[in-house]
Structure 1
Amino acid sequence: MTRLLIADDSALMRKLLAEIFRAEGDFEIALARNGAEVLDLAATFRPDVVTLDVNMPVMDGLTCLSRLMIEAPCPVVMVSSLTRSAAEATLEALDLGAVDYVAKPEGTVSLSIDRIRPVLVEKVRQAAKVRLRKALRLKERVRHQIGSVENRSPRDAVPVPTVQRPRTSAARPQANAGEPDGLVLIGASTGGPQALETILSGLPEDLPWPVLIAQHMPATFTGIFAQRLDRLCRLAVVEVDRPRPLEPACAYVARGDADMVVARRPSGLIVLPVPASPSFVWHPSVDRLAQSTLQHLGASRLLGVLLTGMGNDGAQSLARIAAEGGRTIAEAEETAVVWGMPGELTRRGGAGQVIPLQDIAAAIIREVMPHAAGQKRP
């Protein structure tokens, strides 16, 4: 049996979520009304996984999560509404150590809860299998053990620095300045936001290839996520909410609940949002992005990177890139929150390199900027 702790200030939401998991037949369930109760139950119930609301009385979800990851680390899935403030809080929760998130259904909850049932159950099951990294919040855990973390807020525990760097006009999407030599395609799902922060913050401001990112995420989240990355990174980062020319030193985040494709115009290559296709299971679709890119560029001009995530999105198309002479990178199992997507690429024989997260930015630089990296590209 999987021990699941459900935390929500709404009695109706607690009841509906509990019914979903009781119907599965293999969950032992405890309920909490606020963050303080979560911390008490973490010590007595010892959950394998927690679903955590953001807005709760007595102790809110972020404060609870911050303390939980220090006092009794366990996998957490955030269950939050689709508001801007909730999206910002959810992204902060991922930085604090949450494994994943599920957006609450809009409208009458009792009538619309079934819409999130399959994805909620799957994400909780996957989260329960996650082994939290031993280094997660290690410094804060040590401080807590010696009694020096009293009154620390979540924002104190995980500062989000802003990269200070000059921004020239060339660092922003603009009119075509010549077609880039190649493109970097990155796909991610569960655990992806933190992984993308790690990689993009390690890339230089003069990266000559544009970076295209398909991160499975709702539309409410992707704009805020792109803004967050833009503050953290030397590259200019934008959400693709309209057609944009592809420029060096820029990263393009696919808009959520849609797909992103590459197209050619008289002025050069562009990237644009398109309605989500039912032919693809996950959105924004990594496979659809890669397939559209291959229509306009040869595989030898592509570098595909597949990061942590459930399922197999991107594996087929990146394996094709590798087979046709392109380069591919799969995140290693040791650092992936869920080794579904990169694992599938590896099993298909399509991973040119299988390397841990902290080494991927350097690998991208070696592939895209061989002279700057001091060595030749294979």
Structure 2
Amino acid sequence: MRNRIKVLIVDDSALMRKALRDIVLTDGALEVVGTARDGQDAIDKVKELKPDVITMDINMPVMDGLTSMQHILNDYPEIPIIIISSLSTEGALTTFEALALGAFDYVAKPSGTVSSDIHVVGREIIEKVKLAYKSANRKNLSNRIRARSTTAPRKTAAYSRKSRMVQSNDLSAIVVIGVSTGGPGTLMEVLPQLPSDLKAAVLVVQHMPPTFTSSFARRMAEACAISFKEAEAGDVLANGRGYLAPGGYQLLVHRDGRLLRLSSSPVTQFMPSVNVTMESVLERCGGEKVVGVIMTGMGDDGADAMVKIRKSGGITIAEDESTAIVFGMPQEAINRGGAEIVVPSYKVADEIIKAVNRIQNVQKI
């Protein structure tokens, strides 16, 4: 078959290299052009084989995956790299560092560094390899580079821990942000741009394994001006506070419209589900206080809820195709009429602030 996607597999375990090779070869659209046993070997193989997509292990001898990835992306920024990482806390932290450095996405190994059951995430690996290849275009990359160079975190006193604690218990609006594939890196572009005095609570629903969300929440807490944490049952929504939905649960708002609660139902393809959280907020708080945001991700989670929010008087924002790592979720929201505002990722924070101010002005009338 001609024009197959060329994949380079990088892992120090011979067992993992074989298992990953077998997974990739189950799809006729893909081919394995080579394997590498460590980071330095990967650099050499990239120069020789010119792969379309790379799967990269993290913990390897000679040169680790993070270092290797930085060398590769410096010379070949157009080649997407998918991190294959363990589900441990250490693995999660390293994975987020890799995403911040430019990795396309990650797949979590189900049972440690050497996962004999890696086949259980085989379909996910194949899907992400194809998405990585499809998304690997210079226009998208150049937009993101330009965005990161022209948007710096707002330098305010909000970055001190002391100032974060000085908050009222007022709740003027609720911003619900939904993301999936490519989400961690995109959220790191958006959330740090929100000011500490934002007159809204921010709920973030990122499709992510349960063991990853606590680590990601801590990382976001260090980067954000608003206070930020992994959501827990009983948390009280308030202005200037952000909450990340924990993996494996649905994030809901209690009937009083202020308390958060977690639930193992309804069971959906993704737990948490953007759609479920948005509809809960809409039901409990009313559309006129809600800002819905959909950014990069495959599938259509959140698209229907965005339509409902907009029809109920809320404000809805979708990421533009020019910066979306994967345009699936925002495209569905746009096509169904659920996006009032469509902007690239580097303008999403400003649009959130404008939307919250719009809600504030209406409430003052």
TM norm structure 2: 0.89
What corresponds to 2:331 in structure 1?
A: 343
1:325 and 2:310 equivalent?
no
What is the CA distance between 1:263 and its match in structure 2? 1.0
What corresponds to 1:17 in structure 2?
A: 20
1:59 and 2:54 equivalent?
no
What corresponds to 1:134 in structure 2?
A: 142
Alignment of 1:158-197 (within 5 A): 163-164=159-160, 166-171=162-167, 177-178=169-170, 180-197=171-188
1:46 and 2:42 equivalent?
no
What corresponds to 2:274 in structure 1?
A: 286
Aligned 8 A contact 1:366 1:375 in 2: no
1:96 and 2:98 equivalent?
no
Aligned 8 A contact 1:259 1:273 in 2: yes
Q: Measure, in 2, the Cα distance between the counterparts of 1:63 and 1:12.
A: 23
Cα shift readout 1:63-118 (whole Å, capped 9, x = no counterpart):
011111101121111000011111111000001111110000117833x2232112
**What 5-or-longer segments of structure 1 have no aligned partner?**
139-160
Q: 2:289 is aligned with what amino acid?
A: R
**What 5-or-longer segments of structure 2 have no aligned partner?**
147-154
- 1:206/1:335 CA distance change after superposition, 3 Å: same
- 1:316/1:104 CA distance change after superposition, 3 Å: same
What corresponds to 1:217 in structure 2?
A: 208
Alignment counterpart, residue 238 of structure 1, candidates 213, 218, 229: 229
Aligned 8 A contact 1:307 1:331 in 2: yes
- Higher normalized helix content (fraction of residues): 2
- 1:320/1:370 CA distance change after superposition, 3 Å: closer
What corresponds to 1:109 in structure 2?
A: 115
What corresponds to 2:303 in structure 1?
A: 315
Q: 2:26 is aligned with what amino acid?
A: A
Cα shift readout 1:29-74 (whole Å, capped 9, x = no counterpart):
0111111111111111111111100101111010011111101121
Q: 1:123 is aligned with what amino acid?
A: K
Q: Measure, in 1, the Cα distance between the counterparts of 2:206 and 2:191.
A: 13
- 1:171/1:225 CA distance change after superposition, 3 Å: farther
1:86 and 2:91 equivalent?
yes
- 1:306/1:258 CA distance change after superposition, 3 Å: same
Deviates more, 1:255-264 or 1:285-294: 255-264
Aligned 8 A contact 1:91 1:225 in 2: yes
Q: Measure, in 2, the Cα distance between the counterparts of 1:183 and 1:329.
A: 13
Q: Measure, in 2, the Cα distance between the counterparts of 1:53 and 1:277.
A: 34
- 1:228/1:276 CA distance change after superposition, 3 Å: farther
Q: Measure, in 2, the Cα distance between the counterparts of 1:137 and 1:301.
A: 34
Q: Measure, in 1, the Cα distance between the counterparts of 2:213 and 2:336.
A: 30
Q: Measure, in 1, the Cα distance between the counterparts of 2:198 and 2:291.
A: 13
- 1:276/1:97 CA distance change after superposition, 3 Å: farther
Aligned 8 A contact 1:203 1:235 in 2: yes
Alignment of 1:26-45 (within 5 A): 26-29=29-32, 30-45=34-49
What is the CA distance between 1:350 and its match in structure 2? 1.1
Q: 2:275 is aligned with what amino acid?
A: D
SS of equivalent residue, structure 1 residue 363: helix
- 1:205/1:189 CA distance change after superposition, 3 Å: same
What is the CA distance between 1:168 and its match in structure 2? 4.9
Q: 1:134 is aligned with what amino acid?
A: S
Aligned 8 A contact 1:328 1:350 in 2: yes
Q: Measure, in 2, the Cα distance between the counterparts of 1:40 and 1:24.
A: 26
SS of equivalent residue, structure 2 residue 342: strand
Q: Measure, in 1, the Cα distance between the counterparts of 2:263 and 2:363.
A: 37
* Identity between Structure 1 and Structure 2 (%): 39
What is the CA distance between 1:369 and its match in structure 2? 2.0
What is the CA distance between 1:204 and its match in structure 2? 1.0
Note the aligned Cα RMSD (angstroms). 2.4
Q: Measure, in 1, the Cα distance between the counterparts of 2:210 and 2:357.
A: 33
What is the CA distance between 1:136 and its match in structure 2? 6.1
What corresponds to 1:155 in structure 2?
A: none
What corresponds to 2:284 in structure 1?
A: 296
What corresponds to 2:150 in structure 1?
A: none
Cα shift readout 1:97-151 (whole Å, capped 9, x = no counterpart):
11110000117833x223211211111111111125126679xxxxxxxxxxxxx
Aligned 8 A contact 2:318 2:343 in 1: yes
SS of equivalent residue, structure 2 residue 254: strand
Aligned 8 A contact 1:261 1:271 in 2: yes
Aligned 8 A contact 1:14 1:31 in 2: yes
What is the CA distance between 1:375 and its match in structure 2? 11
Q: Measure, in 2, the Cα distance between the counterparts of 1:135 and 1:248.
A: 31
Aligned 8 A contact 1:70 1:137 in 2: no
SS of equivalent residue, structure 1 residue 167: helix
1:270 and 2:296 equivalent?
no
Q: Measure, in 2, the Cα distance between the counterparts of 1:42 and 1:136.
A: 23
Aligned 8 A contact 1:257 1:276 in 2: no
Aligned length: 345
Q: Measure, in 1, the Cα distance between the counterparts of 2:53 and 2:234.
A: 41
